[in-house]
């Protein structure tokens, strides 16, 4: 049978000699979604899965995999469950269409992997490239057959942020509290891996920090180690945790030109939406009521605010002269100055916060 994925029953020997920072050398061998199993000699529990590189520009998890494989092998770690690594989109990461390595979320012949984890027995209307659909179906079958207990899906942001975990509303916090201090409770994104497996096992998404930084590589490696050795510990002192809910996103309207200005410099008097340059400082901190988002001389607002796809712009954003302002006290999440990312997805999120 020709398979559309790679499935290794053990970590390939040559992969264990690659230095962590040379992880991209593996990309030619990761052109299909790739499962690497680290088998237990005596499995007593359901399996655990570490999934990464669903977004081909978010590389920390791949480096952390290479580092973790060496750790497991050198220390001869024995586990009472089967551990699986799944590296999704080496195809998109390798640098196609004259783009650099780790520069795009997916290629022009793909769609976003983290929006297509559907059960295709249901009648899914979305147009999905045949190869990706087959890949998702094969992966889902293998994950389900492994009797999964925990799945973590490790991502990066394009802006600066501290490690952040996403969990479905109402789900048990035990594992997520063991891995991160900042916890977002939100509705699952339809078609996300987290959504697909939330009813089958504990399924969480982690944003480990800004892509391409050593800091986020360290975070990802630490989280992998904690996850591998997690034994259902109770969470530590409540004081450490920051919780967010009721999240919505600020999206820049189509056809609006935007840029980031330095507040010290003269602002341009044109129809560009000039966004404050320190926007990433909003991340995981309190935004005071009537905080400035940016300046816009054009008609109306240059942004919309969406919560569960509902347009709530008038409740959250206002314009005073040419100032675009956030009305309510909120916490910022995942704000980014990466123009492509802002254009394709959102400028950032606003949430309610509770810091215990
Ligand atoms: Zn991502």
pLDDT-derived band at 266 (thresholds 50, 70, 90) equals low
What's the CATH superfamily of 6-239? Zn peptidases (3.40.630.10)
Round to whole Å and give the CA distance between 203 and 194.
Answer: 5
Distance 52 CA to ligand 1 centre (A): 9
Round to whole Å and give the CA distance between 314 and 44.
Answer: 54
Write out pLDDT tens, residues 123-143. Answer: 888 899 999 999 999 999 999
Residue 83 has pLDDT above 70, yes or no: yes
Round to whole Å and give the CA distance between 47 and 89.
Answer: 22
Q: How many CA atoms lie within 13 A of 200 on its CB side?
A: 20
Asked whether 18 and 53 are in contact (CB, 8 A), the reply is no
Distance 16 CA to ligand 1 centre (A): 26
Query: What does the pLDDT read at residue 236?
Result: 74
Distance 319 CA to ligand 1 centre (A): 31
Round to whole Å and give the CA distance between 292 and 274.
Answer: 11
Six token digits for residue 132: 């990706």
Apex 203 CA angle, 56 and 220, nearest 5 = 50
Six token digits for residue 273: 């939406």
Write out pLDDT tens, residues 102-128. Answer: 999 999 999 999 999 999 988 888 899
* Average pLDDT for the chain: 93
pLDDT-derived band at 99 (thresholds 50, 70, 90) equals confident
Distance 131 CA to ligand 1 centre (A): 20
Q: Which of 55, 88, 83 is nearest to 71 (CA)?
A: 83
Distance 280 CA to ligand 1 centre (A): 17
Write out pLDDT tens, residues 199-235. Answer: 999 999 999 999 999 999 999 999 999 999 999 887 7
Distance 155 CA to ligand 1 centre (A): 5
Please say whether the dihedral angle defined by the alpha carbons of residues 22, 25, 27 and 29, taken in this order, is positive or negative: negative
Concatenating the DSSP letter of every residue in 139-179 gives HHHHHHHT-EEEEEEEEEESS----EEEEETT---HHHHHH
Range 275-295 average pLDDT: 96
Distance 341 CA to ligand 1 centre (A): 11
Asked whether 58 and 211 are in contact (CB, 8 A), the reply is yes
Distance 305 CA to ligand 1 centre (A): 21
Query: What does the pLDDT read at residue 269?
Result: 65
Six token digits for residue 8: 């290794």
Query: What does the pLDDT read at residue 352?
Result: 96
Range 1-19 average pLDDT: 92
Q: Which spans in the chain are helix H?
A: 60-74, 90-93, 130-145, 174-179, 193-197, 214-228, 313-316, 339-344
Distance 254 CA to ligand 1 centre (A): 22
Surrounding ion ligand 1 within 5 Å at CB are 55, 58, 155
Query: What does the pLDDT read at residue 340?
Result: 87
Residue 2 has pLDDT above 90, yes or no: no
Per-domain boundaries in the chain:
6-239, 248-351
Distance 338 CA to ligand 1 centre (A): 14
Distance 297 CA to ligand 1 centre (A): 33
Distance 298 CA to ligand 1 centre (A): 32
Distance 157 CA to ligand 1 centre (A): 7
Query: Percentage of residues in the chain with pLDDT exceeding 70?
Result: 97
Query: What does the pLDDT read at residue 95?
Result: 80
């Amino acid at each position: 049978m020709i398979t559309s994925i790679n499935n290794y029953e053990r970590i390939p020997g040559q992969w264990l000699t690659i230095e962590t920072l040379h992880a991209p050398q593996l990309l030619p061998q990761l052109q299909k979604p790739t499962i690497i199993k680290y088998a237990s000699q005596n499995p007593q529990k359901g399996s655990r899965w570490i999934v990464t590189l669903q977004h081909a520009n978010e590389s920390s998890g791949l480096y952390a995999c290479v580092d973790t494989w060496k750790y497991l092998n050198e220390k001869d770690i024995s586990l009472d469950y089967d551990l699986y690594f799944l590296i999704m989109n080496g195809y998109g990461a390798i640098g196609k269409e004259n783009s650099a390595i780790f520069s795009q979320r997916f290629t022009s012949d793909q769609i976003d992997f983290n929006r297509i984890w559907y059960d295709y027995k249901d009648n899914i209307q979305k147009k999905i490239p045949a190869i990706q659909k087959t890949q998702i179906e094969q992966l889902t079958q293998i994950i389900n057959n492994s009797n999964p207990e925990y799945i973590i899906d490790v991502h990066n942001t394009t802006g600066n942020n501290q490690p952040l975990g996403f969990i479905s509303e109402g789900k048990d916090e035990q594992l997520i509290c063991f891995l991160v201090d900042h916890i977002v409770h939100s509705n699952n994104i339809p078609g996300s891996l987290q959504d697909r497996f939330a009813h089958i096992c504990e399924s969480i998404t982690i944003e480990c920090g800004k892509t391409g930084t050593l800091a986020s590589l360290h975070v990802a490696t630490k989280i992998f180690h904690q996850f591998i050795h997690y034994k259902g510990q109770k969470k530590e002192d409540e004081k450490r945790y920051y919780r967010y809910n009721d999240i919505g996103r600020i999206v820049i309207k189509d056809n609006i030109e935007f840029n980031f200005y330095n507040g010290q410099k003269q602002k341009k008097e044109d129809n560009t939406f000039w966004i404050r340059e320190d926007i990433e400082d909003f991340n995981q901190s309190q935004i005071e009521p009537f905080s400035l988002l940016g300046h816009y001389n054009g008609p109306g607002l240059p942004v919309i605010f969406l919560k569960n796809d509902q347009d709530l712009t008038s409740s959250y954003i206002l314009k005073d002269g040419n100032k675009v302002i956030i009305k309510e006290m909120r916490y910022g999440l995942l704000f980014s100055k990466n123009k492509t990312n802002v254009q394709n997805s959102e400028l950032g999120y606003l949430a309610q916060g509770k810091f215990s």
